[in-house]
Structure 1
Amino acid sequence: MTGPSERPSGDRFAAERRDERFDGGRRDERSGGRDQRPSGGQRGERPARGGPWGARSGGDRRDGGRRPMARPTVDLPRQVAYEAVAAVHRDDAYANLVLPSLLRDAGLVGRDAAFATELTYGTLRRLGTLDAILGDAAGRDVQRIDPPVRDALRLGAYQLLHTRVPAHAAVSSTVDLVKSVGAGATGFANAVLREVAGRDADAWVAKLAPSAESDPIGHLALTYSHPQWIVRAFAEALGGDLGETTRLLIEDNERPPVHLCARPGLADPAELADEVGGAPGAFSPYAVYLSGGAPGDVPALAQGRAHVQDEGSQLVANALAVAPLDGPDGRWLDLCAGPGGKSGLLGALAAQRDARLTAVEVSEHRARLVEQATRGLPVTVLHTDGRTVGADPKLPEGHFDRVLVDAPCTGLGSLRRRPESRWRRQPSDLPPLTRLQRELLAAALRAARPGGLVAYVTCSPHTVETHVTVTEAARRSGVPVDFVDARPLLPAGMPGLGDGPTVQLWPHRHGTDAMFLAMLRRT
């Protein structure tokens, strides 16, 4: 493989030149001019086939199916970005898993890694708007363009419209990329990109977006690159306030900061912040904001003193732990524990209070992740379905003092961290998910002892997954419950918590994922 310092002689735009002209910023002022740096995560697999690095064969090869890498015709950061975007669209890969692996394989660090990551995440976030622009520039629906060429054009259009890469460099490097993945399409690609370069991003939006007066949802969807059904769901959850909806959509397109959780009893947040060169969180007593770099390089994570966790997730888990409770308080339950972030925090808190947490996870792989995340803590991991409360002797009814239900959901509250999710999710996903959410919450209410507490949490602000699910599950469960006002369970002075008793956190209000919290007490 060609390393970062061994660039092909045909590369027109060497790293030194990019260092002078690309600072990780974006041309669109709404983005704040911040670069995208590689985030931590599990090692993803390389795409199964295709891409400018050559294919991986499914035949009987002792090298694991890898063919020798073809000599690249464009620089490595752009190749890595292409491989990541292609894997997302071709193989349903997750960018946060596949990209770190590709960066390591290519040996990219520093500015080159930041450039590749910016191209990958920026292209995936802006996909809807980029496709509308490319379709207009090409005079055809983008779905009629050969997929490898289409992904290369998306990367090129993103460079033209949202970075400071010079137009000639963006066009020429993308044409080189197209030459390596779609022979015969270079003339087409050159013509399309030159058409795209004829307008800036705002001018394209002005041409293609419906008017804000006649179709406000459609206007916001194309302007800020979200599916219309998601924009509509956000607007409904925000009480129809389109101005605030706009601020949320803008925040969704920003690079989110990495939050660490300093595990209570194992790490002091202020000391951890000094250790990693970060800053203590604004709201969670355990949060540390990482200023840059890869979280996987933080020693405290390898030592089990901290873990990566959005501040909103910390706040809702801690709310369950601090809620006033009468009677015994030693038996805690996390009913949907994978991959283990909330179990890690609750387990550390339980250790300080002579309590024990039972962490339930239906997926075997995710159950193993929970075991890894809670090693050394008073946590018992059960690989089973949380809905078996009462039928499984390890999950008896009326037994637990505090119960967390971090229910599977659409994940609309974390779109800034998972850029491809907004294009994968569909309204048809809601019925099976909300049915599962109601069943899990009903099981949690059965698991709680009389007087015990249940926290229902979901990383989605969609009202069907929040208020409707909680209301219906409580009504149908057959278990008498009262709602507990969740607002006093969050830090004093925290703004924008609404009228209660439930709480909805927001990226644009609180700098967290859009976590929802409802607290119920079994009476």
Structure 2
Amino acid sequence: MAQRGGRGAGKAVRSRKPARDEARNAAYDVLRAVDERDAYANLLMPRLLAERGLSGRDAALATELAYGTLRGLGAYDEIIAACSDRPPEDIDPPLLDAVRIGVHQLLRTRVPPHAAVGTTVELVRLRVGIGPSRYANAVLRRVATRTLPAWLAIVAPHPDDDPVGHLAVSHSHPRWIVSAFRDALEAGGDADGWEETAALLEADNERPRVTLVARPGRASVEELVKDGAEPAQLSPYAAYLPEGDPASIPAVAEGRAAVQDEASQLVALALTRVPVTGADGRWLDMCAGPGGKAGLLDAVVTGGGGRLLASDVQPHRARLVRQTTGEAAVIVADGGEPAWRPGVFDRVMLDAPCTGLGALRRRPEARWRRDPASLAELTALQRALLGSALDSVRPGGVVAYVTCSPHLAETRDVVAAVLDGRDDTERLDAREFLPEVPGLGEGPYAAFWPHRHGTDAMFLALLRRTGA
């Protein structure tokens, strides 16, 4: 009996189909959703991991494959083109996404080459078909013959002939974004040639650390550190979470702390530090969703006996603000057509809708989704909102104009255009209110950068209303 059972078990093992690779399938599904329905990877991936019961190494692998492939997509497509008999735009999108995952494994992970090729071919066979799997095998075997630096030396333009194109391919960013970053660094006054642009692009491709905010009066950095976080370098309210789920931190689960980029904390903090004469109890967050800055401002102003009004034009974003703030009044309203009387607020935060180019580390697909053609519409909205913010603050009060984008058209140009039409506003030197932060530029604005500060790229202008 035992012998027959052993032979039967052996046959069963030999006939069993290979187990489905759930981590790679999850990464593939994220890429397909990004391509087919403009999904956001950072929103979809956590949901897929939970639905499919992936955790630990499998969750980490799925996340790295999805995010890493999206970040490197531009360079990978150039390499695929060099190893294929057709350009990427002529490859069936489902097949192309799977091959991109294979290229990422080969060139930017520690997955052994034979495993990177084999698992990708199996993925294509399962999700696309047997014929396409042979094509994937041939392309990936060619890719495996060189390292990433060796491939980039072949496919990227020479830096002397085309410095923008060289950086665009080498660091996998669209050309227009490379140029925009370069211009913004130069405008800050202390850019170190093309080298600093390259450092910024490289930092843009790094996985961002998880940063927590301890909302003052409700949680403390010491409490977060006690529960596994590490003290931050810049914000007095911040702590870094080296690993694990933020929701496992009791203060986060209870809403007394939250996940918030350190630059986002600091621009809100700068607004609270500007001295104002007279009353200081009415604060406004004009475009508050999803609520990170509103949560911090709410904690600060209520600690001093004041009140925050948080507004957003989108109902679902307003709901998120309600969930993340404690005592703020939250309304659905268009900041460009205020539902409040003019000149009644002491401080106004305007975190304006923008291209989001400063958060490409967190939203890797955004670099391929954004188009410079959208700038005109966005900048018109930004100018209208900034004008409304200045009308909403009382004389002597202060407005913070913030964008999670360094693009000059969305930052300095917006401020200049609005102030050119007013004689009741003065620029403050934003750096004076962030003395603990180095490398913010020449002023009067403050610019945060991934390669300098380890944060999102964020712009801050502080403006005081002077006229009656």
Do the structures match in fold with TM over 0.5? yes
How many Å separate the matches in 2 of 1:72 and 1:359? 53
Residue 515 in structure 1 maps to residue 458 in structure 2: yes
Report what 1:364 is aligned to: 315
Q: Is 1:191 paired with 2:135? A: no
Counterpart in the other structure of 2:4: none
Residue 331 (structure 2) pairs with residue 382 (structure 1): yes
Counterpart in 1 of 2:159?
212
Identity over aligned residues, as a percent? 56
Deviation at 1:281, TM superposition (A): 1.2
Q: Secondary structure at the match of 1:189?
A: helix
2:24 corresponds to 1:78: yes
* Aligned-pair CA distance for 1:102: 1.0
Match of 1:226 in 2: 173
C-alpha deviation, 1:104, in angstroms: 1.1
2: CA distance between counterparts of 1:115 and 1:10? 28
1:334 aligns to 2:281 (yes or no): no
Aligned equivalents of 1:97 and 1:422: distance in 2?
Answer: 16
Aligned partners of 1:206 and 1:308: how far apart in 2?
A: 39
Equivalences for residues 281-360 of structure 1 within 5 A? 281-360=232-311
Q: Show the counterpart of 1:423.
A: 368
Displacement of 1:271 in angstroms is 2.2
What does the per-residue CA deviation read over 1:124-146, in whole Å, with 9 as the maximum and x for residues that have no partner? Answer: 10000011111221121111111
Mark the CA change 1:9 to 1:100 in structure 2 (over 3 Å): closer, same or farther.
farther
CA distance in 2, matches of 1:434, 1:113: 39
Identify the match of residue 36 of structure 2 among 72, 87, 90: 90
Residue number in structure 2 paired with 1:20: none
CA separation of 1:405 and 1:479: change in aligned 2, threshold 3 A: farther
Change (3 A) 1:72 1:148: farther
Q: Which residue of 1 aligns with 2:441?
A: 498
- Equivalent in the alignment of 1:16: none
Q: How does 1:204-283 map to 2 (within 5 A)?
A: 204-239=151-186, 241-275=193-227, 277-283=228-234
C-alpha offsets along residues 5-54 of structure 1, whole Å, 9 cap, x if unaligned?
A: xxx97999xxxxxxxxxxxxxxxxxxxxxxxxxxxxxxxxxxxxxxxxxx
After superposition, give the CA deviation of every residue in 1:157-176 in whole Å (9 maximum; x if it has no partner): 11011111111111111111
Contact 2:224 2:249 in 1 (8 A): no
Deviation at 1:193, TM superposition (A): 0.8
What is the aligned-residue RMSD (CA, Å)? 1.6
Structure 1 position 434 matched with structure 2 position 379: yes
The superposition leaves residues 440-463 of structure 1 with CA deviations (integer Å, 9 ceiling, x where unpaired) of 000000001011100100011111
Instruction: Supply the AA of the counterpart residue of 1:320.
Output: L
> Aligned pair in 2 of structure 1 residues 9, 118: CA closer, same or farther (>3 Å)?
farther
Partner deviation per Cα, 1:44-83 (whole Å, 9 max, x = no partner): xxxxxxxxxxxxxxxxxxxxxxxxxxx8754111111111
TM-score under structure 2 length normalisation: 0.93
SS at match of 1:296: helix
Q: Are 1:256 and 1:417, in contact at CA under 8 Å, matched by a contact in 2?
A: yes
Preserved CA contact (<8 Å) 1:284 1:491: no
8 A Cα contact 2:23 2:59, kept in partner: yes
2: CA distance, partners of 1:190 / 1:475: 60
Give the 5 Å matches for 1:61-140: 74-140=20-86
Q: Which amino acid aligns with 1:278?
A: A
- C-alpha offsets along residues 392-430 of structure 1, whole Å, 9 cap, x if unaligned? 3xx111111000100000111111111000110110011
For residues 90 and 106 of structure 1, what CA distance do their matches in structure 2 show? 21
Aligned to 1:400: 345
Correspondences of 1:142-221 after superposition (within 5 Å): 142-183=88-129, 184-221=131-168
8 Å contact from structure 1 (residues 446, 479) kept in 2: no
Gaps in structure 2 of 5+ consecutive residues = 1-11
Q: Which runs of 5+ in 1 are unaligned?
A: 1-7, 13-70
Query: Contact 1:259/1:310 (CA < 8 Å) preserved in 2?
Result: yes
Residue 83 of structure 2 aligns to a residue whose secondary structure is: helix
Q: Does 1:486 align with 2:430?
A: yes
Asked if the contact 1:11–1:74 (Cα under 8 Å) also holds between the matched residues in 2, the reply is no
Asked if the contact 1:278/1:291 (under 8 Å) is kept, the reply is yes
Question: Aligned-pair distance for 1:263?
Answer: 0.4
What's the secondary structure of 1:267's corresponding residue? coil
Shift in Å, 1:299: 2.0
CA shift for structure 1 position 107: 1.1
Q: Could you say which structure has the higher helix fraction?
A: 2
| Cα separation, 2, equivalents of 1:139 and 1:9 | 39
Aligned equivalents of 1:243 and 1:207: distance in 2? 20
**TM-score of the pair, normalised by structure 1:** 0.84
Task: Tell me the amino acid that sits aligned with residue 390 of structure 2.
Answer: L
C-alpha distance in structure 2 between counterparts of 1:9 and 1:198, whole Å: 34
CA contact (8 A) 1:84 1:120 kept: yes
**How much has 1:491 moved relative to structure 2?**
3.5
Determine helix, strand or coil for the equivalent of 1:487: helix
After TM superposition, the structure 1 stretch with the greater mean CA deviation from structure 2, 495-504 or 400-409, is 495-504
Residue in 2 that maps onto 1:22: none
Counterpart amino acid of residue 198 in structure 1? T
CA distance in structure 1 between the partners assigned to 2:332 and 2:22 by the alignment: 42
Supply the AA of the counterpart residue of 2:449: W
Letter in 2 for 1:130: Y
Give the number of equivalent residue pairs.
449
Alpha carbons 1:11, 1:75 under 8 Å: kept: no
